[in-house]
């Protein structure tokens, strides 16, 4: 019993960049600003997608799921990181580390599959436009979203269980900003070859296969877009798909670098920076990418702001309803 108790620490020390104290203040400011922008941006997309009836489509249903994922993912890691950066003792309890590991891994795995689902939605919309409403019906959208969430959380249960079963022999210094599988495996005092092979196999399933399917779908999408006669239609199709491709490149590129490269001492610091990119920067950029490059979302924001202003201007019901109807129908807000 004593050996078992010694192998499971009561808390972990998250080293981060504690060997470079001059980086802590700049990192704190960057993390805090990024977290605030992530919360505001993703909340705005969720609210607008729910309130604006023009956005009640499969594409924005999946985008709402993505925003919810990014909200929860950053909230599972960033607040603890902010506390630790400004603390002398950069610790997290064993239970907190387990929760952070499980939640971040579940949401990250879910996002891997959800981005592939979103590319399938774009493939059907552009390559099979006449059959889009028949293929992407509400039930299928719910099933695809549920499949992504269930698969992501199932993977997290498996990965977290295998990682936490590894004996640590009292080691509790995690050379990372938060509890993540590769960092925790480095703490183990036994051979982790089997765990690393299993992690590599799962990473292929959740990273390489989805990104390969995305690239194949976009090859067909590009062919279909080039056949569109209308310049405006071609521009709109490339704009919508371009936003998704940027998100895919940012997320999969950094995640593949983190999980599919052979472990080496030289890659530790690079791995920490890469994990910060897909864990903090990408969730912050997602709302900006989808709003700045998307006329539908920008139009929805304008209509929502118009409604808020009209509520203040016309508190009584009848004039308010008349003005709201005119504002929503106005071409300037579409």
Question: How far is CA 311 from its chain centroid?
Answer: 34
Supply 131's token pair: 């059959």
User: Which pTM value belongs to this model?
Assistant: 0.83
Report the pLDDT value the prediction gives residue 264, as an integer from 0 to 100. 59
Which residues are 174's β-sheet partners? 14
**Residue keyed to tokens 């390969």:** 212
DSSP sequence for 70-82: HHHHHHHHHHHHH
Task: Please state, in angstroms and rounded to a whole number, the distance separating the CA atoms of residues 192 and 206.
Answer: 21
- How far is residue 24 from each of residues 30, 34, 123, 153, measured CA to CA in Å? 10, 15, 44, 33
Domain extents in the chain: 11-309
Strand 91-93 relative to strand 11-14: parallel, antiparallel, unpaired? antiparallel
Q: Among residues 73, 82, 65, 68, which one has the least CA distance to residue 30? A: 82
Report the pLDDT value the prediction gives residue 1, as an integer from 0 to 100. 41
- How far is residue 201 from each of residues 26, 70, 71, 110, 113, measured CA to CA in Å? 37, 25, 28, 17, 16
* Gyration radius of the chain over CA positions: 23
Report the pLDDT value the prediction gives residue 256, as an integer from 0 to 100. 84
pLDDT block averages, 10 residues each, the chain of length 334: 55 81 86 92 89 85 93 92 85 90 93 92 89 92 96 94 84 84 84 86 90 90 80 70 78 83 62 80 84 72 73 57 50 44
Strand 173-174 relative to strand 91-93: parallel, antiparallel, unpaired? unpaired
Q: Which fold has domain 11-309?
A: Rhopdopsin 7-helix transmembrane proteins (1.20.1070)
Task: Please state, in angstroms and rounded to a whole number, the distance separating the CA atoms of residues 103 and 134.
Answer: 35
List CB contacts of 217: < 8 A, sequence separation 6 or more. 119, 120, 122, 123
Given a contact cutoff of 8 angstroms between Cβ atoms, the answer to whether 220 and 227 are in contact is no
Report the pLDDT value the prediction gives residue 206, as an integer from 0 to 100. 92
Q: Half-sphere exposure (CA, 13 Å, Cβ side) for 12?
A: 30
- How far is residue 277 from each of residues 114, 184, 257, 291, measured CA to CA in Å? 19, 19, 11, 20
């Amino acid at each position: 019993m004593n050996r078992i108790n010694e192998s499971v620490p009561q808390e972990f020390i998250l080293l981060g960049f504690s060997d470079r104290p001059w980086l802590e203040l700049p990192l704190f400011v960057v993390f805090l600003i990024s977290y605030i922008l992530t919360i505001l941006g993703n909340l705005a997309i969720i609210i607008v997608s729910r309130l604006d009836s023009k956005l009640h489509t499969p594409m924005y249903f999946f985008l709402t799921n993505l925003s919810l994922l990014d909200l929860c993912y950053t909230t599972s890691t960033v607040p603890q990181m902010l506390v630790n950066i400004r603390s002398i003792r950069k610790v997290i309890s064993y239970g907190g580390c387990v929760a952070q590991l499980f939640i971040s891994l579940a949401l990250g795995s879910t996002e891997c599959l959800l981005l592939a689902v979103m590319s399938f939605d774009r493939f059907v919309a552009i390559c099979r436009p006449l059959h889009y409403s028949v293929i992407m019906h509400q039930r299928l959208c719910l099933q695809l979203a549920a499949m992504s969430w269930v698969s992501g959380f199932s993977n997290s249960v498996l990965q977290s269980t295998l990682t936490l079963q590894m004996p640590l022999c009292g080691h509790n210094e995690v050379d990372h900003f938060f509890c993540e599988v590769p960092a925790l495996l480095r703490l183990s005092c036994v051979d982790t070859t089997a765990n690393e092979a299993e992690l590599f196999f799962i990473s292929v399933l959740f990273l390489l296969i989805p990104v390969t399917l995305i690239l194949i779908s976009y090859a067909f999408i590009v062919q279909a877009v080039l056949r569109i006669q209308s310049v405006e239609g071609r521009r709109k199709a490339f704009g919508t798909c371009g936003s998704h491709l940027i998100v895919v490149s940012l997320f999969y590129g950094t995640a593949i670098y983190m999980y599919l490269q052979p472990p080496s001492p030289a890659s530790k610091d690079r791995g920490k920076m890469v994990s910060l990119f897909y864990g903090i920067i990408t969730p912050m950029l997602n709302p900006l990418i989808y709003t700045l490059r998307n006329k539908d979302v920008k139009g929805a924001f304008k209509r929502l702001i118009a409604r808020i202003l009209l509520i203040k201007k016309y508190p009584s019901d009848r004039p308010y309803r008349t003005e709201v109807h005119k504002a929503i129908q106005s071409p300037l807000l579409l």
